[in-house]
Amino acid sequence: MKKVGIAILGLGVVGGGTYEILRDHREFYKKTQDVDLEVVSVLELRRDRIEALGIPEENVASNIAEVVSNPDVNIVVEVMGGVGKAREFVLDALNAGKTVVTSNKELVCKYSHELERAAKRHNAGLYFEASCVGGVPIIRTLLDGVQANHISSMMGIINGTTNYILTKMTNDGASYLDVLKEAQSLGYAEADPTADVEGFDAAYKLSILSSLAFHTKVPFSKIFREGITTVTQDDIAYGKELGYCLKLLAIGKQTEEGIEVRVHPAFIKKEHPLASVNDSFNAVYLTGDAVDDVMLYGRGAGALPTGSAIVSDIIYAATHSENKYSTFKNNATAEKDVKFVSNFKSAYYLRLTVNDEAGMLAKIAAVFGKQDISIQEMVQKENAQDGKATLVLVTHATRELSLRSAVSKIASLGIATVDSVLRVVS
């Protein structure tokens, strides 16, 4: 039976969960995978974490050099996070010929080209299933499940924190700030939630997933990004009235115009499969030319779900003699001949405060008409404020720049205040 030595860099939530899975399932993997996976080295500064997991002192390394020079270490698992020391340590491991498994989405998004070059030079593996969508096997699906297809689109809820916040706002009628505080107290959101609520986390993941799906480098810089910090309870309530549910969506499309990649809050019809993905759960909805629609759903974060994805990569690396690398030129930037669509098409939801007087709607419609924007749905309600009304519009599909131009024109004319603009996805 093949014996494989594992080193774990970092014993936080995910690192600890990974260690527990490897320890508790060792005999199971011997029986089902014909491989003996043993954690022979850990690198962790906090002694309390080491002691809590009962790790023998002889398996505790004092520095990265000790880990990568250990002949018993075959696979190094990086679960430290960040891109400083993690990048340095991963490169040290790859340059020593050790296969690396990482859950670090920012590191993979920004530096996979550099890491892959080192891996190829030293015939080492580089695996990162756990970097995207927690325990949901989306990367393995793209590489080994739907590779018979041209993938035309992917749309997903790939950040658990924002999905939890929007779910609570929708179901409980709570405000964004109140739910954010609750999410922080439960450990769903960090003390500084910027990476999640401003869409950075989802954009890192979309960069990785769209590169794999479309077989070309899709840099983070090409992704249109908006967060959920300006979403209000009013917007969610009006959306519900119109039959919509609000989600932070990551969208990737491969069209005749080029590649379109964007992360932003969007309304989807309540009947759409993604509308029922609630709390901290994640899901990705793929469309291929042969398989048609496929949706993967599950836990998007957490010690054991993410640890499950890490151990899956460990087993894959341990049981495959040849390493797999990118199916595209993995450079720091996109290929010169690849086009990216920034002026994408979408339907839009707008909430405006208008003077409650005759002819106001005609003036607004005239502005939209000049931009070739047509209105699909409309709701008008009187405000408590004298002489004002709330106007909610849903447009037919139009171009992003046309919509922005119309909003700017309305603001400049002083005929209404545009309080909110959100995209609507069919």
Sign of CA dihedral 120, 121, 126, 132: negative
Distances (CA, A) of 266 to 157, 170, 261, 298, 385: 11, 13, 14, 21, 29
Sign of CA dihedral 168, 186, 101, 206: positive
Contact yes or no for 150/292 (Cβ under 8 A)? no
* The length of the chain, given as a count of residues: 426
The residues annotated as belonging to the active site are 205
C-alpha dihedral, 389 to 394 to 400 to 405, nearest 10°: -30
How many CA within 13 A on the CB side of residue 265? 24
Contact yes or no for 213/252 (Cβ under 8 A)? yes
Structure-token match 């658990």, residue found: 160
Q: Which residues contact 409 (CB under 8 A, 6 or more apart)?
A: 367, 370, 371
